Amino acid sequence: MGRLTMVCSLSYSSLAEFEQVTPLITNFITTLNSLQRVVRYLDIPQEAPLELSDDVHIRKSVKISRGELVKLEIKRCGDTLKLVTAGGLPVLEASKDGKILRLVEGQKIQDITTHADKLHLKDFRYSVVAVNSASQDADIMAQELVKPGNNIWLDLWHDDHINGMKIEFESLSAGYNDDADVLKNVSFVIAPKAKAAFVGHSGCGKSTSLLCILRILEARRGRISYNNIDSRRMGLKFLRSMIGLVPQDPTIFDGTWRYNMDPFEEFPDGRIWEALRLCRLLSYVCALPSTLNSNIEASGANLSLGQRQLLSLARMLVRQPAILLLDECTSALDPATQQSVQETLTSHFPLSTIVAVAHRIETILNFDKIIVFRTGEVVEQGTISEVSNIPDGVFAKVLKSHQML
């Protein structure tokens, strides 16, 4: 009996010591794993710099108070509308097409405000493309600038790029890790404000091209330029700020509808409501208990996939990026809604160059250019008419069979 008591006592003592040592060993192993990961991450190639000294915003949204805006008056000289200061100095005038307010020669955008530092601009050669919720009409924008109000939202576009953004691939080759090239000596040009579609079967390089445009994937050889500016001379923050992406599975934030539409609070509510209307979400949001302040769950769990896709597109309508990338962003929509979205893409991105990865023929029939990929190479490019009439062409065969891409 005494021997059994002694064995039990020893076993209990060993177990207690083991319980004390186990956490120490576990923590030690966890620390070693953490150090190993830190060392591994230090060896990962880093992205290019976020900002470079010569970066200039192509498009800038600015909110200023009415008191920080100089007093302006509308004057008409024949058919030309001008905005002049109280002293009679012309500052802005309507463009020839009547859609934007351009700076009068010799003036700068800082001349319309008494607090130019709040514009946060390195360069002041900008035109006004939207005021509050008004856009595409210089007369209405001018009226917004002169009428009473608390705040003014200005949407500015740099004069060097006011005619849109040209995208040019020049002998570009790119791939993942140390694997073989996915894109092989790819060259094409997308004109400013054009709508271009990447066409081809899975694995041909369409999505890889989008990653190269965003510089998530860097080119191995060749280059991409925007309005003849080499993308490698742009800071990543500047580059990506001018590009909008609507993916097939969109990113939705945990927050209100307003936060999801405008996370940086750069735009007025009127612009947001208009975007919701164009994307057929207006009636749904109006029926919510708190409308724009109603909450969306993490990853959009309380929305359908179609609603998430429409929300992602509405976000871009508010922002109006210089370049808009679409990756089958209407796959979950019914035909009627999809047709409405196609009309919105055609009419309501007036200054954007649109690049779409096409999976269905009917979504790209009104595009300006088709670029056909096969095994990482561009094998055909041109208008719908040009590529569909190539004898035994890839696109002609797809169009004839009307198959999925």
Average pLDDT, stretch 247-262?
Answer: 88
Report helix angle 335-347 to 305-319, nearest 10: 10
* C-beta of residue 395 within 8 angstroms of C-beta of residue 358: no
pLDDT at 4: 47
The three-state secondary structure class of 229 is strand
Residue 152 has pLDDT above 70, yes or no: yes
**Domain 167-252+319-401 homologous superfamily, CATH:** P-loop containing nucleotide triphosphate hydrolases (3.40.50.300)
Maximum C-alpha span of the chain: 117
CATH of 59-161, one of 3.40.1130, 1.10.260, 2.30.42, 1.10.10: 2.30.42
pLDDT at 222: 94
* C-beta of residue 380 within 8 angstroms of C-beta of residue 387: yes
Residue 3 has pLDDT above 90, yes or no: no
* C-beta of residue 396 within 8 angstroms of C-beta of residue 389: yes
pLDDT at 7: 45
* C-beta of residue 212 within 8 angstroms of C-beta of residue 193: no
Average pLDDT, stretch 177-206?
Answer: 91
Write out pLDDT tens, residues 355-378: 999 877 877 888 999 999 999 999
Instruction: Domain ranges for the chain, please list them.
Output: 59-161, 167-252+319-401
- What percent of the chain has pLDDT above 70? 95
* 349: amino acid identity, one letter: F
Query: Is 321 or 112 the better-scoring residue by pLDDT?
Result: 321
HEC-encoded secondary structure of 26-40:
HHHHHHHHHHHHHHH
pLDDT at 214: 94
Residues 6+ apart with CB under 8 A from 122: 55, 56, 57
Average pLDDT, stretch 51-80?
Answer: 85
Average pLDDT, stretch 60-78?
Answer: 85
Report helix angle 305-319 to 269-278, nearest 10: 130
pLDDT at 209: 94
Q: How many Å is the Cα radius of gyration of the chain?
A: 28
Average pLDDT, stretch 220-233?
Answer: 93
The model's pTM: 0.84
